[in-house]
Structure 1
Amino acid sequence: MKFTLYSALAALTTSTLAAPLFTRQANATSSVNGTTSANSTSSGADGPVGYASLNGGTTGGAGGSETTVTSIDELLAAVEGDEPAIIYIDSVLSGSSEKIRVGSNKSILGRSSKAGIEGAGLFIKEAKNVIVRNLAISKVNTGEKDAIGVQKSENVWIDHCDLSSDLDHGKDYYDGLADFTHGSDYITVSNTKFHDHYKASLCGHTDSNADEDAGKLHVTYANNHWANINSRMPLVRFGTVHVFNGYYEGGSMGDSAVNTRMGAQVLVESNAMAGIKDAVVSEYSDEDGYAVVRGNDFGEGANTAPEGTLTSVPYEYELLGSENVEAAVVGVAGNTLTL
Structure 2
Amino acid sequence: MRSRTMHIHRTLRHARALARIPATRTALVGCTALVLAVTGTLGIAQACPQVRDLSHETLADGDGWGSEGDGTSGGAAADAAHTYTVTNRTELVAALESDPGQPRIIQVKGTIDFNTDASGAPLTCDDYATDGYSLDAYLAAYDPDTWGRDEVPSGPQEDARAASAANQAARVEVKVPSDTTIVGLGTDARILSGDLQVKAVDNVIVRNLTFEDAFDCFPQWDPTDGDTGNWNSEYDNLVVYGASHVWIDHDTFTDGRRPDSAQPYYYDRIYQQHDGELDVVKGADDVTASWNTFADHDKTLLFGNSDSAASTDEGHLRVTLHHNLFKDLGERAPRVRFGQVDAYNNHYVVSDAASYVYSLGVGVSSHLVAEDNAFTLPDGVDPSRVIAYWKGTGLTADHNHVNGHEVDLLAAFNAANPDTPLGDDAGWTPTLRTEVDDPGAVPGIVDRGAGAGNIGKAG
TM-score class normalised by the smaller sequence: 0.7 to 0.9
Tell me how far apart the structure 2 counterparts of residues 203 and 119 of structure 1 sit (CA, whole Å): 22
Tell me how far apart the structure 1 counterparts of residues 254 and 206 of structure 2 sit (CA, whole Å): 15
Shift of 1:128: 0.7
Higher Rg: 2
Question: RCO (CA 8 Å, sep 6+): is it higher in 1 or 2?
Answer: 1
Alignment deviations for residues 189-236 of structure 1 (CA, whole Å, 9 cap, x no partner) = 000000000011010011111111111000000100010101000000
Alignment deviations for residues 131-173 of structure 1 (CA, whole Å, 9 cap, x no partner) = 0000000100249410001111001100000001122234842
SS at match of 2:440: helix
Partners of 1:10 and 1:337 within 8 A in 2: no
Tell me how far apart the structure 2 counterparts of residues 144 and 56 of structure 1 sit (CA, whole Å): 33
* Aligned pairs (5 A) from 1:109-188: 109-142=183-216, 144-165=234-255, 166-167=259-260, 168-169=262-263, 170=270, 172-188=272-288
**What is the aligned-residue identity percentage?**
27
- Provide closer, same or farther for how the CA distance between residues 171 and 296 of structure 1 changes in structure 2, counting only shifts above 3 A: farther
Q: Of the candidates 365, 368, 376, which is equivalent to residue 266 of structure 1?
A: 368
Q: Of the candidates 63, 69, 79, which is equivalent to residue 55 of structure 1?
A: 69
Tell me how far apart the structure 2 counterparts of residues 171 and 301 of structure 1 sit (CA, whole Å): 37
SS at match of 1:226: strand
Partners of 1:249 and 1:274 within 8 A in 2: yes
Partners of 1:20 and 1:47 within 8 A in 2: no
Shift of 1:49: 1.3
In structure 1, the residue matched to 2:402 is 298
Q: 1:241 and 2:341 equivalent?
A: yes
SS at match of 1:63: coil
In structure 1, the residue matched to 2:91 is 74
- Provide closer, same or farther for how the CA distance between residues 237 and 141 of structure 1 changes in structure 2, counting only shifts above 3 A: same
**How many positions carry a matched residue from both structures?**
313
In structure 2, the residue matched to 1:288 is 392
SS at match of 1:108: strand
Q: 1:89 and 2:108 equivalent?
A: yes
Tell me how far apart the structure 1 counterparts of residues 214 and 204 of structure 2 sit (CA, whole Å): 20
Q: 1:323 and 2:440 equivalent?
A: yes
- Provide closer, same or farther for how the CA distance between residues 14 and 200 of structure 1 changes in structure 2, counting only shifts above 3 A: farther
- Structure (1/2) with the larger helix percentage: 2
- Provide closer, same or farther for how the CA distance between residues 15 and 68 of structure 1 changes in structure 2, counting only shifts above 3 A: farther
Shift of 1:290: 2.1
- Structure (1/2) with the larger strand percentage: 1
TM-score between the two structures when normalised by the length of structure 2:
0.64
What is the letter of the counterpart of residue 237 of structure 1?
R
Alignment deviations for residues 26-70 of structure 1 (CA, whole Å, 9 cap, x no partner) = xxxxxxxxxxxxxxxxxxxx4671000012100001111201011
Partners of 2:174 and 2:195 within 8 A in 1: yes
Structure 2: runs of 5+ lacking an equivalent: 1-16, 30-49, 116-170, 217-232, 264-269, 414-421
SS at match of 2:316: coil
- Provide closer, same or farther for how the CA distance between residues 131 and 256 of structure 1 changes in structure 2, counting only shifts above 3 A: same
Runs of 4+ in 1 over 6 A off after TM superposition: 7-12
Tell me how far apart the structure 2 counterparts of residues 152 and 185 of structure 1 sit (CA, whole Å): 7
Shift of 1:321: 1.1
Partners of 2:28 and 2:52 within 8 A in 1: no
Tell me how far apart the structure 2 counterparts of residues 76 and 212 of structure 1 sit (CA, whole Å): 29
Structure 1: runs of 5+ lacking an equivalent: 23-45
Tell me how far apart the structure 2 counterparts of residues 48 and 122 of structure 1 sit (CA, whole Å): 26
In structure 2, the residue matched to 1:100 is 174
Tell me how far apart the structure 2 counterparts of residues 59 and 246 of structure 1 sit (CA, whole Å): 24
Q: Of the candidates 5, 16, 20, which is equivalent to residue 5 of structure 1?
A: 20
Tell me how far apart the structure 1 counterparts of residues 335 and 18 of structure 2 sit (CA, whole Å): 27
In structure 1, the residue matched to 2:319 is 219
Tell me how far apart the structure 2 counterparts of residues 15 and 76 of structure 1 sit (CA, whole Å): 26
Q: 1:206 and 2:310 equivalent?
A: no
Partners of 1:110 and 1:133 within 8 A in 2: yes
Partners of 1:171 and 1:198 within 8 A in 2: no
What is the letter of the counterpart of residue 96 of structure 2?
V
What is the letter of the counterpart of residue 76 of structure 2?
A
Shift of 1:92: 1.0
What is the letter of the counterpart of residue 163 of structure 1?
F
Cα root mean square deviation, aligned = 2.6
What is the letter of the counterpart of residue 101 of structure 1?
K
